[in-house]
Amino acid sequence: METGLTTEALNVEKKSKVQSKQIKSNANVSRYRGLQASLDNDKESNYNWEKIDTTKLKFEKKDVVNFMDLFSGAGGISVGARMAGMTKVASVEMDKDASATIRNNFPKSIHFENKIEDVTEEELDKKLKGKHIDVMFGGPPCQGFSVAGLRNPQDPRNQLFKEYIRLVKHLKPQFVVLENVPGILTMQKGDVYKEIIKQFADIGYPNMTVRILEAASFGVPQLRTRAIFIANRLGLVNPYPSEIFAPSNYKSIESAIEDLKDYERNALPNHEWTQHSENLEARIAKILPGGSLYDTFRDAYKRQYKGVPSMTVKENHGGCHVHYDLNRVLSAREMARLQTFPDDFVFSGSFKRAYWQIGNAVPCLMAKHIALAIREKLKQHHLTI
């Protein structure tokens, strides 16, 4: 019987279908599931937290919650907190393009385009003009974190974390949210994250807790796990949002970007991608879902799967993930969709710099539900005092 396909093509198609079945059964399971369960079951040192259903919360206009975003990048957390009805007061980010993005999208908030160590307490007080910060968000880079560096004020390692602590100690927000990669929890056999918790306790935030959250659980069409530390100075149980989606009904990649397949370059703001030569495009056409253009650096030019959430999107120096159907990498706007940025949120700088900003962001929808849980806890607290 004539099929119209060569034997080689049939084998490729068969292999692709097998791989797709495998990814649909395995991709939605976080490799941090064991660590997540261990943390959640730690009733001795990680007990002070509860889940809050954030899907039906209602707030009044008087329920004003001010926040500040440190190491803000392009503002994924800021967008999420704004979605939750919080008011952005200020942010700190040293990158020029990310700072321009912040200024353009949050024109009414104060922005410090500085290294965090150059933001003085005096300058903060002058700019804030008495406005109190209720929630401090931030995710200091953890490269090189060490217990020794955290404990020794003169040690240059972990300096950014120490600056975070400095500003929190000065501004005394009611809640602190620190996000980071899950790998921070296993550094030096867990001693690093325990030292972080101790240092927050030393400045008035006892019983800090940490949980691993999966972005796809909150409607993000992407698998992206983050370690979320929360602490407060009010003596409250730390709130975390309840998971909304289970792995069986996570949002798929095409639910977010399928409508952009036929759009030309620049048809939407930031809908740009790396231009490919004919030779490179031909090589990309041979990449199967989950496969890469390279044998060594396998996360660059890796083709996304269809029917499941996106793999964690990254900038990869222009070698972003390949579209599930098209023979090109994802556009910056498609990546932004996968991070749940709205289409009217425009990134400044070149499209490669937009890639960098988007790839480093916290998914907006996950940040929204974290902010909603905290906002609800603050509302409950204010009703009881």
* Tokens at 336, concatenated: 């932004």
Q: Where are the alpha helices (DSSP H) in the chain?
A: 7-26, 33-40, 76-83, 96-105, 121-128, 147-151, 159-171, 191-202, 253-257, 278-285, 332-338, 351-359, 364-384
List CB contacts of 301: < 8 A, sequence separation 6 or more: 284, 287, 292, 293, 294, 319, 320, 321, 322, 329
CB 223 within 8 A of CB 27: yes
Backbone phi, then psi, for 92, in 5-degree steps? -130, 130
Rounded CA separation 337/29 (Å): 22
Contact 292, 311 (CB under 8 A): no
How large is the angle between the packed helices 121-128 and 159-171, nearest 10 degrees? 50
Q: 332: burial class by Cβ within 10 Å (0-12, 13-18, 19+)?
A: buried
Pick the closest to residue 248 from 222, 225, 217 (CA basis).
Answer: 217
> Which residues are marked as active site?
142
Q: Do 374 and 239 meet the contact criterion of CB atoms below 8 Å apart? A: yes
CA distance 104 to 348: 8
Measured distance CA(290)–CA(304) in Å, rounded: 6
> What DSSP designation does 221 have?
S
Identity of the residue numbered 269:
P
SS (H, E, C) 284-341: HHCCCCCCECCCCCCCCCEECCCCCCECCCCCHHHCCCECCCCCCECCHHHHHHHCCC
